[in-house]
Amino acid sequence: MAKSRTVFFCNNCGYESAKWIGKCPSCNQWNSFVEEVIDKTKETASVWSDEGIIKEPVPIHSIEHTEENRIPCPNKELDRVLGGGIVSGSLVLIGGEPGIGKSTLMLQLALQLTQKVLYVSGEESEQQIKLRANRLEHTHSDTTYIISETSIEKVFNHIKQLKPEVLIVDSIQTLASSRIESVPGSISQVRQCAGELMQYAKTTQTPVFLVGHITKDGSLAGPKVLEHMVDTVLQFEGDPNMVYRILRTTKNRFGSTSELGIYEMQSGGLREVKNPSEILISQRDVGVSGVTIGATMEGNRPLLIEIQALVSGAAYGTPQRSSTGFDSRRLNMLLAVLEKRTGLKMGVQDVFLNMAGGIKVDDPAIDLAICVAVLSSLHDLPVDEKTCFASEIGLGGELRAVNRIENRILEAEKLGFTTIYISKYSKGIDAAKYKINIKSFGLLKQVFGDLFG
């Protein structure tokens, strides 16, 4: 019988310990240790053997510098978040809540690539994947190979035979190595399988995509070590009830982390959204109060977003505050500023706030648009539909400058807005350069006065 030993892993950061401890010495998390059994006899053997490659240290000056070899990605939004193409030998992790569309995105990528792709699924059978593929546009289905498999050893056998140019694993939590006794999805299994896949990616220069599940609190399931191991971490997010999906980079060794891709989930799969602002603000009735447009930035991309506020007298005691797509604590702060600095009686009002399209916004530049939407709804005064806003609000009711104001102004101008309200503390703006009317103010009160008299 194989000798096995028991070890304890921190669920949060993957710290390993011989005995159970209450508080992780590495990440200070309490009660995060779980017991796992590791088969000692086979632990050191690697499945993806180096196949006789013997490496020696080389002087750094003798290493030839070559640009990373990138496979152009036909999926333009994905291409953008990856930093321009799929880098050879890179390990990319895609995380997201169940049902958000990770499998769809990966299958679509497999079908779009002209390269030979092996799609390993531990969650669905070949028939189920075929059913899904039938809904998608398949341009290169002859180069897409599917296998439903959960054993990493068997996966490597298939890889050796097929020699794919791109590997997709859906999901890393369903893979298991027979050399470890713990169940699939446990920390040691995830770490082991990801480690072997990394070795495979680096030795053969094959790009590998890993789909990863997300835990209840929104972090990638399995330990943080997974995030350390891979080259790129992408987050796929959005409200599953809404059609828009956002692909975000949270780590990228081969590009910027401030990139963003937007998709729309349709009956035929994910469609790339090339000009998100137009969609987010298209369905608008003129002359409705409580609706404003905020000029935000998502990564490097300016995005104009519609904000809807509904303010109505609180009928039953404690007023209700509810916000979708925006931090409710920040909303409370803005309401307090409105009460204190502009004299609005917010304490007796219910306030509901909604960001159009199910987008989550954490750019403070949206503050001004929110305050104006609240006031507009409170007094039932519509805001001109060709006006937008870009400023943070301070606790003193002052307008604060925001980053990349020029990009925001340009985007607003491009989309046909005629007026933009910004902070007068914004630096280096040459108003004569733009066709759009730029109104700069120092205080929230002054903006209200200018808008509504």
Q: Which spans of this chain sit near Mg ion (rule: CB under 5 A)?
A: 103
Task: Report, in Å, the least distance between residue 385 CB and ligand TYD.
Answer: 31
Which token pair is 4? 């096995």
Task: Report, in Å, the least distance between residue 170 CB and Mg ion.
Answer: 6
Residue 302 or 358: the one with the smaller Cβ distance to ligand TYD is 358
Assess contact for 3 and 41: CB atoms under 8 A: yes
CA distance 125 to 344: 59
Residue 236 or 326: the one with the smaller Cβ distance to ligand TYD is 236
CA distance 304 to 208: 35
CA distance 207 to 79: 14
CA distance 409 to 71: 35
314 binds, among ligand TYD, Mg ion, none (CB under 5 to 8 A by kind): none
Burial of residue 131 (number of CB atoms within 10 Å: 0-12, 13-18, 19+): exposed
**Alpha-carbon dihedral sign for residues 80, 82, 84, 85:** negative
Residue 105 or 405: the one with the smaller Cβ distance to Mg ion is 105
- List the interface residues with ligand TYD, window 97-126 (CB under 6 A): 98-104
13 binds, among ligand TYD, Mg ion, none (CB under 5 to 8 A by kind): none
Interface residue with ligand TYD among 164, 255, 269, 397 (CB under 6 A) is 269
111 binds, among Mg ion, ligand TYD, none (CB under 5 to 8 A by kind): none
CA distance 331 to 102: 31
Task: Report, in Å, the least distance between residue 355 CB and ligand TYD.
Answer: 21
Report which DSSP code applies to 331.
H
Assess contact for 190 and 207: CB atoms under 8 A: no
* Contacting range for ligand TYD; rule: CB under 6 A; set: 6-14, 261-269, 321-329, 431-439: 261-269
* Contacting range for ligand TYD; rule: CB under 6 A; set: 67-75, 225-233, 266-274, 308-316: 266-274
Assess contact for 82 and 254: CB atoms under 8 A: yes
Residue 149 or 181: the one with the smaller Cβ distance to Mg ion is 149
Task: Report, in Å, the least distance between residue 107 CB and ligand TYD.
Answer: 8
Residues that bind ligand TYD (CB under 6 A): 96, 98-104, 132, 135-136, 265, 267-269
